[in-house]
Amino acid sequence: MSTLFHNFIYQPLYETLLFLYSTVAFQDLGIAIILLTILVRIVLFPLFYKSSKNQMILQKLQPALQKIQQDHKHDKEKQAQAMMELYKTHQVNPFSSFLMLFIQLPILIALYQVFLGSLPNIHSSFLGLINLQDRNIIIVGLAAITQYFQGSLALPKPTPGQALSTAEKVGRQMVFLGPALTVLILSSLPAAVGLYWITTSVFSIFQQIYINKTVKVNL
């Protein structure tokens, strides 16, 4: 398994970073990291699009789901069957976000290993201002800010008169918890990882704007 991970995920990302650095990134590691991150997110865009559409449908289904929970509150088996039938009718997978996490995880691990590893004959700077091998408080702060805006944008608009579900309440709490965790995690890591974090968050912001404008959910 480790050989497959190295040959099919880590090594292609590593070689792509070196290629970008030596060609279109003007031998700037920071620019190469930004370009590599954008390239990875473009490749994964169809999966993110489908996952986001699923989440929007699930949000629209919240009133129906709450009614099912109320109607079958004394029969968990019937409740589960009715909910699964509702999901099937609208062709939505309630576990899509978890599937996306599993798909992304090997790529994220590989990217971290690439950025944290030793890169031969490469100047580890960004625009000649930031040493990407060192920790940098500015990078950490920008990563937390972009994480906050990304989380805020992904939140569904509350329906007037409708109480927030437990999942929605947790999601709104995560908007603030996410940036706090970002600061905690990145404070002990090289700035290269933080630059990747910023880039993927900014990409997610524009991606979510596009999805919000293009995806129409009619139930």
Q: For 105-140, write each residue's pLDDT tens digit.
A: 888 888 888 887 777 778 888 998 999 989 999 999
Q: Which domain holds residue 116?
A: 2-214
Residue 56 lies in a domain: yes
In a domain, 219, yes or no: no
Residue 13 and residue 114 in contact, taking contact as beta carbons nearer than 8 Å? yes
* Assigned domain for 178 exists: yes
pLDDT confidence tier of residue 216, bands split at 50, 70 and 90? low
Within 10 angstroms of residue 180's Cβ, the number of other Cβ atoms is: 12
The pair phi, psi for residue 130, each rounded to 5°, is -125, 125
Domain assignment present for residue 156? The answer is yes
pTM for the model stands at 0.81
> For the chain, how many structural domains are there in total?
1
Task: Kindly report, residue by residue over 163-192, the tens digit of the pLDDT.
Answer: 665 656 666 777 788 889 899 989 988 899
pLDDT of residue 122: 83
Q: Does residue 215 register a pLDDT over 80?
A: no
Higher-pLDDT residue of 126 and 152 is 126
Judge whether 112 lies within some domain.
yes
Residue pair 157/208 in contact by the 8 Å Cβ criterion: no
- At residue 112, the pLDDT reads 83
For the ranges 7-21, 101-115, 138-152, the lowest mean pLDDT is seen at 101-115
Q: What does pLDDT average to over the chain?
A: 84
Does residue 10 fall inside a structural domain? yes
